[in-house]
Amino acid sequence: MAKREIKKVVLAYSGGLDTSIILKWLQDEYHCEVVTFTADLGQGEEVEPAREKALKLGIKPENIFILDLKEEFVKDFVFPMFRANAIYEGEYLLGTSIARPLIAKKQIEIAHQTGADAVSHGATGKGNDQVRFELGYLSLDPEITVIAPWREWDLNSREKLLAYAEQHGIPIDKKGKKSPYSMDANLLHISYEGQILEDPNAEPEPDMWLWTNAPEEAPNTPEYITIGYEKGDPVSINGETLSPATILRTLNEYGNKHGIGRIDIVENRYVGMKARGCYETPGGTIMLKAHRAIESITLDREEAHLKDEMMPRYASLIYNGFWWSPEREMMQAAIDKTQENVTGEVRLKLYKGNVTVVGRSSEHSLYSEEHSTFEEDEVYNQQDAEGFIRLNALRFIIEGKQQPRRRTLQEEEVCRIETKSVTICERIKRWFGFHKEEKA
């Protein structure tokens, strides 16, 4: 099939093996100008070396974009997600998923800025990221052309990639050394896939975990911290007001120290297969616990329950790449409405992999001690509960009077089973008795 005519493409570029090869491949296969975009999302690695690598591969200086997105990432993507208490399949805090819509957004912005007519990514044809990137691109620019090299080329093994790199003089650090895991990191988490983890019954090697202390090796003394909230977002730690990225970075430090945030899961990918992954999300684990605690005293019961019912759908939308969809934005508006009074402080105890809420307070608290107390009070008449219960039981009472045969049939079934059991027991007794007589 003939290649599409592309004049300029914006590549999501990390400077690693895959994207360096993609850069050269785009030049050779599409004969187009390449613009590189490297996002600093707090992954803990230097991003500036990507500039030098891009220059060596012939990229013009004005076509190299390296952007510090840490504050935008946390403020506009991580925090809104945590207002929803989003967890995918009960455990995954969506660390990789939530980074993709921001990268897609910036690629489209750079494409418009530089006059590019295409965008490209390094996601494989087996994973979720291809879906997340491309749904983002097409949501933000329906006319953009998307190039996904892993779905086009035949470089489908590490050996072929290394041979291609050597053939084209692509500088690769530690060339030929097979990395133990496929990893993705940002300020919210680090993930591990591949190698030994492809066996869901194999325990991860202890030295795989790069961020957190093992819980059994964490400090023997618990540490207490206080997180301040305004309208559903954390704004301070121990009374000190901090920026969104600084808050998450600080909570990561606490979580790493105390062995908090490790999970080992098998998840259902959007493309259909199951995949085993290990994740470290130290600050996010602390934030989730704290946010649910401040909500517990500031949200109305039905408001909180309805929000919890919405959460799995919201989490799936993010996992599957639908951040820019109208349904996610609609749900976000509803979620954000619930956060208007989610302001106050939460006190937490951190100890050997655990986060325990030990206190919560808010000027908007709905907790009424005089109503909840087990001691004598003057605000609640316990006799009111009788009418409340009878009204809730009214449909059962009516049904029991109007449809008595239902109960009779149930009773007959019980009797039939009991009778059958007695008959079987009698037969067994007789059988044993008969054989005893024979032996005698």
CA–CA distance, 85 with 93 (Å, rounded to integer):
9
**Comparing 155 with 26, which gets the higher pLDDT?**
26
pTM summary value:
0.88
In a domain, 78, yes or no: no
- Rounded mean pLDDT, 389-395: 90
In a domain, 233, yes or no: yes
In a domain, 245, yes or no: yes
- Mean pLDDT value across the chain: 91
- Looking at 178, 204, 235, which one is the last position of a domain? 178
Percent of the chain residues topping a pLDDT of 90 = 75
Q: How many domains does the chain have?
A: 2
18 is catalytic: yes
pLDDT tens digits for range 277-336 = 999 999 999 999 999 999 999 999 999 999 999 999 999 999 999 999 999 999 999 999
Domain harbouring 290, CATH code:
3.90.1260.10
In a domain, 158, yes or no: yes
In a domain, 358, yes or no: yes
Co-location of 200 and 68 in the same domain: no
pLDDT range class, residue 4, cuts 50, 70, 90: confident
Co-location of 202 and 135 in the same domain: no
- Looking at 139, 156, 178, which one is the last position of a domain? 178
40 is catalytic: no
The active-site residue out of 51, 83, 100, 360 is 100
Residue numbers of the domain that contains 50: 8-72+96-178
Co-location of 160 and 201 in the same domain: no
Co-location of 162 and 196 in the same domain: no
Cβ neighbours of residue 47 closer than 8 Å, sequence gap 6 or more: 15, 38, 39, 40, 66
The active-site residue out of 40, 129, 184, 233 is 129
What burial letters (b/e) apply to 14-48, b meaning 16+ CB within 10 Å? bbebbbbbbbbbbbeebebbbbbbbbbbbbeeebe
The active-site residue out of 14, 18, 120, 276 is 18
Asked if the model's pLDDT at residue 176 lies above 50, the reply is no
4 is catalytic: no
pLDDT at position 175 is 41
The active-site residue out of 76, 117, 182, 292 is 182
pLDDT tens digits for range 24-66 = 999 999 999 999 999 999 998 889 999 999 999 999 999 999 9
129 is catalytic: yes
Co-location of 172 and 226 in the same domain: no
Asked if the model's pLDDT at residue 267 lies above 80, the reply is yes
Domain harbouring 14, CATH code:
3.40.50.620
